Amino acid sequence: MALLSTESLSMTFGGLRAVSNLSLQLEMNDLQGLIGPNGAGKTTVFNMLSGMIKPTTGKVIFDGEDITNLPAHQITQRGMARTFQNIRLFGSLTVLENVKIAFHRHVTYSFMQALLQLNIAHHEENITRSAMDLLDVLGLADRAHHQANNLSYGEQRLVEIARAMATQPKLLLLDEPAAGMNPHETEQLMNLIGKIRRDFDLSVLLIEHDMNLVMGICERITVLDYGMTIAEGSPEQVRANPRVIEAYLGEEVV
């Protein structure tokens, strides 16, 4: 059974069709790319999957359950996490605090216990330890006590990934994880994404403009243009597809 599938998913903004009739399929442990030129509707797809916006029509099935109309936090609780294209860290908090917040799903103590600090010390210690472990995996341990805003762009993107990982997802949505990274950082990111998928046994769906990254690590790629799927397949198939070349490079006027 597919981990994620969408059925004729569409989104219309004030008469403009941002996404139309999208059908995505993602299996367990897949690493899939979602690409397309600027304005093709990729982020809109992520927003619909993660519950940030409600699709105009269509369905999202995740892990055997219809999650189309669930609020964002419930979708996260069911095991889907995402990062944001325009980085949405909790800027004035430290990196460690950012990640600790993301362990929210696993907090078991009550409001009353929190107010009175009753038996929460070991819970808190566990959360801190898990958060540090995660930062270690992403190579951010030495940044744990830095304010998130003061990190470099590349590091901020990594913190976003760490934070998404902390919700312990089955499916990770990465929105342009390499944007603003230098080639060296991008290379490291590629290795990291592969490693995360193996070690944490999860599926990844990523939007990315850096074709080296997408072609380098994705097994399957879906290409969107004008909100429609124009191609699907392995990196080689997609790269050779004339419609894709046209969508990216365009055709000549004369």
Partner 1 sequence: MLSVQGINVFYGKGIHALKDLSLEVGQGEIVTLIGANGAGKSSTLNTISGLVRPRSGSVVFRDMDITKLPAHKIVEAGLCQVPEGRRIFANLTVQTNLELGAYLRKDKAAIARDMQRVYELFPRLAERKQQPAGTLSGGEQQMLAIGRALMSQPQLLMLDEPSMGLAPLLVKEIFRIVQEINRAGTTILLVEQNARMALSIAHRGYVLETGRVVMTDSASVLAEVDEVRKAYLGG
Partner 2 sequence: MRQELIERRLPWLILTVGVYLVISVTSALGILNDYHMINIITIGISIILGVSLNLINGFTGQFSLGHAGFMAVGAYTGAILTMKFGFPFPATLLCGGLAAAVVGLVIGLPTLRLRGDYLAIATLGFGEILRVLFINWSYVGGAGGMVVTQRYTNFHWVYAMTVLTIIVIRNWLQSAHGRACVAIREDEIAASSMGINTTLYKVAAFILGSFFAGVAGVLYAHAYYIVTPASFGFLKSVEILIIVVLGGMGSISGSVLAAIAITLVSVIFTPWPYLRMILYSLALIIVMVYRPGGLMGVKEIQLPALSLKKKEGQQVGTP
Partner 3 sequence: MVEFFQQMINGISLGSIYALIALGYTMVYGIIRLINFAHGDIYMVGAFIGFFATTVLKLPFFPAFLMAMAGCAVLGMIIERIAYKPLRHAPTITLLITAIGVSFLLEYGMIWAMTPQPRAYPNLLPTYQFNFSGLIVSVQQLFILVVALVLMVLLHVLVQYTKAGKAMRAVSYDKEAAALMGINVDSVISYTFALGSALAGAAGLLVGVYYNRIDPLMGIMPGLKAFVAAVLGGIGIVPGAMVGGLLMGVAEALVSAFLSSTYRDAVAFAILIIILLIKPAGLLGKKTQEKV
With vertex at residue 160, the alpha carbon angle to CA 145 and CA 229, rounded to the nearest 5 degrees, is 175
Cα distance between residue 130 and residue 126, in whole Å = 6
Cβ proximity to partner 3, 10 vs 186, nearer residue: 10
Cα distance between residue 37 and residue 181, in whole Å = 19
| Minimal distance, residue 16 CB to partner 1, in Å | 7
Per-residue binding letters, 31-60, with partner 3 (x by CB under 8 A): ------------x---x----xx-------
Q: Which does 167 bind (CB under 5 to 8 A by kind): partner 1, partner 2, partner 3, none?
A: partner 2
The answer to whether the CB of 168 falls within 8 A of the CB of 199 is no
Report H helices in the chain. Answer: 42-49, 72-77, 95-102, 111-116, 121-137, 153-166, 183-200, 211-217, 235-240, 242-249
Cβ proximity to partner 1, 51 vs 210, nearer residue: 210
Q: Per CB under 8 A, which of residues 170..209 are in contact with partner 2?
A: none
Q: Which does 123 bind (CB under 5 to 8 A by kind): partner 3, partner 2, partner 1, none?
A: partner 2
Does 211 bind partner 3 (CB under 8 A)? Our answer is no
**How many CB atoms lie under 10 A from the CB of residue 148?**
23
- Which positions ≥6 away from 105 have C-beta within 8 Å? 76, 77, 167, 168
Cα distance between residue 203 and residue 193, in whole Å = 10
How many chain residues are in contact with partner 2, going by CB under 8 A?
A: 40
Cα distance between residue 96 and residue 220, in whole Å = 34
Q: Which does 220 bind (CB under 5 to 8 A by kind): partner 3, partner 2, partner 1, none?
A: none
Q: Which does 109 bind (CB under 5 to 8 A by kind): partner 2, partner 3, partner 1, none?
A: partner 2
Cβ proximity to partner 1, 123 vs 239, nearer residue: 239
Binding positions for partner 2, rule: CB under 8 A: 50, 52, 71-73, 76-77, 81-82, 84, 88-93, 97, 100-105, 107, 109, 111, 113-117, 120-121, 123-125, 127, 163, 166-167
Binding positions for partner 3, rule: CB under 8 A: 13, 43, 47, 52-53
